[in-house]
Amino acid sequence: MDIKYMNRAIELAKLGAGYTNPNPLVGAVIVKNNKIIGEGYHKIYGGPHAEVEAIRNSTEDLIGSTMYVTLEPCSHYGKTPPCVNAIVEKGISKVVIGMKDPNPLVAGKGIEILEANGIEVITGVLEEEVKKLNEIFIKYITTKEPFCIMKTAMTIDGKIATKNGDSKWITNEKSREYVHELRHRVSAIMVGIGTVLKDNPLLTTRTNEEKGKDALRVIVDTSCRIPLDARVLNLKSNAKTLIATTEKADKEKIKALKDKGAEILFIPVKKGKVDLKYLVSKLGEMSIDSILLEGGSTLNSSALNEKIVDKVITFIAPKIVGGKEAKTPVDGEGIGFVKDAIILKHIEVSKFDEDVMIESYIRRR
């Protein structure tokens, strides 16, 4: 039963995806006499917490009921009063929690207060699932640095384009639709200038459903080579664009970009390029909790070397293009020995028709 209701709370939490950043995805279900009498989720950043939503939506009085909530209820005064107060006041007698809140402001205090008020608390139900649900929040709230997902799409022979640079399309429609879900989920999308010059992408979110929030488009462009007619600079859409550049950039060009509505961020130079580590901490300061890194292979290589990548999502399409000049997901200098390879863990494989998607996480030594 605990698992059934926690799964429902997770399902509800997911409805907030893309709208709550940098806050967590949280869902709550209230059960009395084996019947759900209230449900709620955190809908939007700054809005009511899931617990309060569930309490408000309840159809019966809550005395003696059990609340299932994906995250430990909060104990602090933030944008809203502490959820534990509402739980105690309403006479809820048991709270089943997915995971402890990693937010240092809460971190166990919510559980303590509930128990001190005679409420039975069970923690760790479907913990692995709720931790995955909030992988972005966990990293961001504990480090203030964004959770970075490197996404690549390649053929079975490991190429991201043909020898001519043609890459439309390697993966199928369903895979590409899922990438738009990922774009909706994160706060920023990052690409290197090479990708803008070659593919001229729009980098907005286009999903089949109504929803679809545009993330901040971050272009890493050391010398500010971006053409003024690049599609990412067409700011008619709601998506904002930020150019991460360095003092190498031409002043006139900077002015022209600002006039077009782009935001400019000057970043120190490291090994002749934008210092990526510095850039991501700046983005963290701007409340960017997550980044989808969408290539190309030079930026991927730098991002891995700078250790800013947390998760790797790889699409593999059942196609072979060949060619020693055809690009692969990661270039750069590479390593000399397999023993020095970056190791990935917690591998999960899924399929979109005939395409395979592998989700994995970087193992930190």
Contact footprint for Zn ion (CB under 5 A): 49, 74, 83
The residue ranges of DSSP E strands in 241-342, in sequence order, are 241-245, 263-266, 269-270, 273-274, 290-293, 311-317
Q: Does 67 bind ligand AOF (CB under 6 A)?
A: no
List the beta bridge partners of residue 66. Answer: 31, 94
Nearer to ligand AOF, 64 or 78 (CB): 78
The one of Zn ion, ligand AOF, none whose footprint includes residue 360, by CB under 5 to 8 A per kind, is none
Q: Is 175 helix (H, G, I), strand (E, B) or coil?
A: helix
Position 79 contacts ligand AOF (CB under 6 A) = yes
Strands 355-362 and 344-352: antiparallel
Please select the residue that binds ligand AOF; options are 30, 38, 49, 139, rule is CB under 6 A: 49
> Is residue 354 annotated as part of the catalytic site, yes or no?
no
Q: How far apart are the C-alpha atoms of 42 and 50, rounded to whole Å?
A: 5
Give least dist CB 140 to Zn ion, A.
17
Q: What CA–CA distance (Å, rounded) separates 190 from 205?
A: 13
Two tokens at 274? 């934008």
CA-to-CA dists, residue 323 to 1, 156, 316, 343, angstroms? 55, 13, 17, 27
Shortest CA distance to 220 belongs to which of 275, 183, 291? 275
Q: Kindly name the residue from 39, 51, 53, 72 that is annotated as catalytic.
A: 51
The reply to whether 224 sits in an annotated binding site is no
The window from 73-81, 271-279, 295-303, 335-343 that contacts ligand AOF (CB under 6 A) reads 73-81
Which candidate, 122, 119, 51, places its Cα nearest to that of 91? 119
Residue 206 marked in a binding site: yes
- Is residue 245 part of an annotated ligand binding site? no
Q: Is 188 annotated as a binding residue?
A: no
Residues 95-154 that bind ligand AOF (CB under 6 A): 101, 103, 106, 141
- At 266, the amino acid letter reads F
306 binds ligand AOF (CB under 6 A): no
User: Which residue in the set 32, 42, 159, 217 belongs to the binding site for ligand AOF (CB under 6 A)?
Assistant: 42
71 is an annotated ligand-binding site residue: no
Q: Which is nearer to ligand AOF, 16 or 329 (CB)?
A: 16
| Rounded to 5°, angle at Cα 104 from 291 and 278 | 35
- Interacting residues with ligand AOF (CB under 6 A): 20, 23-24, 26, 42, 49-51, 71, 74, 78-80, 83, 101, 103, 106, 141
Residues of the binding site for NADP(+): 153, 169, 195, 199, 222, 296-302
Catalytic sites, residue numbers? 51
